[in-house]
Structure 1
Amino acid sequence: MPAPAFRRLSLALGLLCSLPPAFAETWPAADWAVAPVPASPAVAALEAYAFPQRDDDSRKGVRTDALLVIRDGQIIYERYAGPTKASTPHLAWSVSKSLMATTLGVAYGKGLFRLDDPVAKFYPPMSQHADIKIGHLLNWASGLDWQEGYEYAPVKSSVVAMLYTRGRTDMAAFTASFGQAATPGTRFLYSSGDANLLSAALRGMVGTEAYKNYPWTALFEPLGITSAVWETDAAGTFVGSSYAYLTARDLARVGLLMERDGRWGEQQLVPKAWVDFNRTPFANYQPSKETEGDAIPGGQWWLNAPIAGAAKPWPDAPDETFAALGHWGQALYVLPKENLVIVRYADDRDHSYSHDELLKLAQAAFVPAVQNREAK
């Protein structure tokens, strides 16, 4: 190569290497990068919805404790209210189910189980239900005769009994004692008991000693999560249905992992095939009047995917939107094509909060394509 041409090539390569990583993926290190977002009417509209004047006496209305928005791996919006701060590990309630599913995804990637393995293979008290598979539990389709009612049906509620009364010392064993209401895999029936059976099965997959720290060694530590607390019952089983606590910033790391198909930096922490399963609607889901407007069940995650016989749950959100959802308004939303992760912690009590409304306002505020469309 002639010397001038070589110098031009060297100069071009040097300039390329010196450019800021505008097109490179951004990943959080010890903390998130923060990108400034200018004030706009759309951001103001989002704040007006998410953070109205708060009445702590009546506990009515939309009561957001934390709202965190990540775009392209950077914080673009963050606000807290009530007693919650950026450093507060907030109770995630049933978002814990999706965290347990993601933890199981690491074990799945190591070949420790298959979806069609009987649960009893890893948790012997389920031997009376030998036809219930791990995949059935992940789809909330065990067929166990479970009643998932909270404040409005406490006497008949299986979950209240499991968490607070006769089942609380060994939640998985309590769930395993239930009879069958349907053939496994044939019917969706939301069950916190299914999640705790998964948690107990995980111990059989990894061994008792490894299990004690497994969510941390397998998932939290590789993601740089430092705030996580996960309660166990008296039997030492993580309460996979309900009792994980994380800061909003740490929960967002799980969202970014899922947005990027299970990859964290250069490491495929969770197999893409597992994430695809999480984001696939349960094949035998049948919408009903009781579930109308609810998100579509996937693999312990909730989906906005349209399916036959059911309207899209969140009409103003993209079809591929999926979420981890919990009692009283906890939510981790992932919008993959928009490179958007949203964490919302809350203390909602009266069902006035709308997933769709928040997602619509967040897109108007933070997704350029939507901003441009609405400006025309």
Structure 2
Amino acid sequence: MSKGWFLIPLLILNLSVQAEDWPGEQWPSGPTPSGPAIEALEHYAFPLRDDASREGIRTDALLVIQDGRLVYERYAGPTTAQTPHLTWSISKSLLATVFGVAYGEQRFALDDPAAKYYPPLNRHPGLTLADLFHWASGLDWQEDYEYAPLKSSVVAMLYTRGRHDMAAFTARHESFSPPGQAFRYSSGDSNLLAAALKNIVGAARYPDYPWTALFEPLGIRHATWETDASGTFVGSSYAYLTARDLARVGLLMQRDGRWGERQLIPKDWVAFSREPFVHFQAGQDEAVPGGHWWLNRGADPGLHPWPDAPPDTFAALGHWGQALYVIPSARLVIVRYGDDRDGSYRHNELLKRAMAAFAGKGQP
């Protein structure tokens, strides 16, 4: 049995560079935090690590940005600051952010028919791009994982009969409801968007578009995004970024799409990402769906899935405990990578402890 963790010390850098202009791996840093609240956060996030049974909370990385400065960073297991970590379904929110750049280029409208950009969806008239962003395509999809692989649409898409062309596999599904009327979380909806993006930006630009549109302007140099055999990005699942690079995306969203002197993503796209889907019903998922991001508020003002976090908290979430939390009111961006297998990790618990450790400590 292998138990243990290691700490990458946080370097205090004397940098005059502003966070918006972070080049490469340079990071403006704040003082190393300490005290009981930090200890309580670490006690939850970094218990003794059991690499034999893979039980319990198994945090690979925890990083906190406050007021645009790196104030906390710790790694465990095989993960380091240089490791591009599999983000799983955080990829969906990354895809939405890439779409935000194309939206700012006026390449599409949210109410455009999805079939305009992906013709196999002609068999599903009325389906719009906005419906796909809300995971409300109306397609009869089963998002089951290890616990029910035989009936799982997503397992079939990623690993068996759908893996060569994931969007085509998804488009062949029958409908269970009219488009836009019901939330059903679907990695297939995300891969339909990834296929539509190819026609939105053009086949020639598509292979490099996430890099030229988003990653390179943010100073992200080492991102990987896998494609299926058809050359379509696996927008649901297979983007890899370091914790520091993912934090750049969070900071962009915290700042309403602005990076340095450039409005990289329109403010109204960020607003769409953070607007609750009106037909979501409490209890359908662990958080409220927005535009391919997850929210801590619903159309019902009393709905707060993470009660110990501010209502304006929003997040990109992935399988096995991946999370990018953005808390504008507290000026916080938190990246948490994990290798959780038993479901014991709780978003609210980490957010509660992070708020106790960091909220109110930054400069106004």
For residue 330 of structure 1, what is the aligned residue in structure 2? 322
Q: Which SS does the other structure have where 1:365 is aligned?
A: helix
**Which whole-Å CA distance do the structure 2 matches of 1:142 and 1:40 have between them?**
48
Q: Is 1:217 equivalent to 2:212 in the alignment?
A: yes
The one of 35, 40, 62 aligned to 2:35: 40
1:28 aligns with 2:22: yes
- Distance in 1 between residues matched to 2:142 and 2:19, nearest whole Å: 44
Seq. identity, %: 65
Question: What CA distance in whole angstroms lies between the structure 2 residues aligned with 1:27 and 1:309?
Answer: 37
**Could you tell me the TM-score, scaled by structure 1's length?**
0.90
Give, as a single letter, the amino acid of the residue that structure 2 aligns with 1:133.
T
Aligned to 1:321: 313
**Deviation digits for residues 187-239 of structure 1 (CA, Å, limit 9, x no counterpart):** 00000000000000000111111001000000000000012000000000000
Which aligned pairs between 1:81-160 and structure 2 lie closer than 5 A? 81-160=76-155
Contact 1:287 1:309 in 2 (8 A): no
Residue in structure 2 matched with residue 339 of structure 1 by the alignment: 331
Gaps of 5+ in 1: 1-19, 371-376
Give 1:26 deviation, angstroms.
Answer: 5.7
Distance change >3 Å, CA 287–CA 143, structure 1 → 2: same
Contact 2:20/2:259 (CA < 8 Å) preserved in 1? no
Q: Distance in 2 between matches of 1:127 and 1:82?
A: 47
- Equivalent residues of 2:19, 2:28 under 8 A apart: no
Residues 177 and 307 of structure 1, relative CA distance in 2, 3 Å threshold: same
- CA distance in structure 1 between the partners assigned to 2:75 and 2:16 by the alignment: 30
Structure with the greater alpha carbon radius of gyration: 1
Match of 1:308 among 294, 300, 307: 300
Letter in structure 2 aligned against 1:56: D
Following the alignment from structure 1 to structure 2, what is the Cα–Cα distance between the partners of residues 343 and 27?
20
Structure 1 partner of 2:359: 367
1:327 partner letter? H
Structure holding more helix per residue: 1
- How far apart are the structure 2 equivalents of 1:330 and 1:28? 24
TM-score (norm 2): 0.92
Contact 1:187–1:286 (8 Å) recurs in 2: no
Partner residue, 1:203: 198
Matched, 1:279 2:271: no
Task: Tell me if the contact between 2:293 and 2:315 (Cα under 8 Å) persists in the aligned partners.
Answer: yes
Aligned counterpart for 1:167 among listed residues 152, 162, 167: 162
2:139 partner letter:
L
Q: CA RMSD in A?
A: 1.7
Q: Which runs of 5+ in 2 are unaligned?
A: 1-14
Cα deviations across residues 27-79 of structure 1 (Å, max 9, x unaligned)? 52322111113421111111111000011111111100000000011100000
